[in-house]
Structure 1
Amino acid sequence: MKVKVGPAKREGKVTTIFDDSLQSAEVSVVGEGEVRISFRAGGMYDQKSAYQYTLNFSRSELSALVGVS
């Protein structure tokens, strides 16, 4: 998985903060079929810092990602 961040309101530098394969410990099913992806990555301006990022996807959001309706 690759995660890139950049400015939202203007042109600017895009920075890759995560570029690695996900490990099974970083993916879990919670609630009613919701999938949670949680990983540690650097920040946009300072790679010495580490942040915990968590993404939660509902079933319908997962279907939209894979193109299934």
Structure 2
Amino acid sequence: MRISVQPAKRNDRVKIIFDRPMTIDDVQIGLQGGASLLVVAGDLYNSGSRFRYTLDLTADEVGLLISRLD
């Protein structure tokens, strides 16, 4: 999985902040069929800091992603 970021107001500098295969430890399944994806990655400005990013998807959103694969 690759995560890239760039400033919203300028279409210039793109930075890849995460680039490795997703593992089962990165995913948590919710009680109602949703899923959370948690990664620890850097930031856009090379501050050396690491941040925890969480993407929360509802069951409907997970279904939408799966339907796009068909």
Of Structure 1 and Structure 2, the greater helix share is in: 2
Unaligned runs of 5+ in 1: none
Query: Would you say 1:51 and 2:51 are equivalent positions?
Result: yes
Q: CA RMSD in A?
A: 1.5
Inter-partner Cα distance in structure 1 for 2:58 and 2:44: 27
Report the CA distance between 1:49 and its aligned residue.
Answer: 1.1
Identity of aligned residues (%): 31
After superposing on structure 2, the runs of 4+ consecutive aligned residues of structure 1 that deviate more than 6 Å are none
Name the structure 2 match of 1:31: 31
Quickly say closer, same or farther: Cα 1:64–1:47, change in 2 above 3 A.
Answer: farther
Aligned residues: 68
Provide TM-score, normalisation by structure 1. Answer: 0.85
Unaligned runs of 5+ in 2: none
Provide TM-score, normalisation by structure 2. Answer: 0.84
Inter-partner Cα distance in structure 1 for 2:31 and 2:47: 33
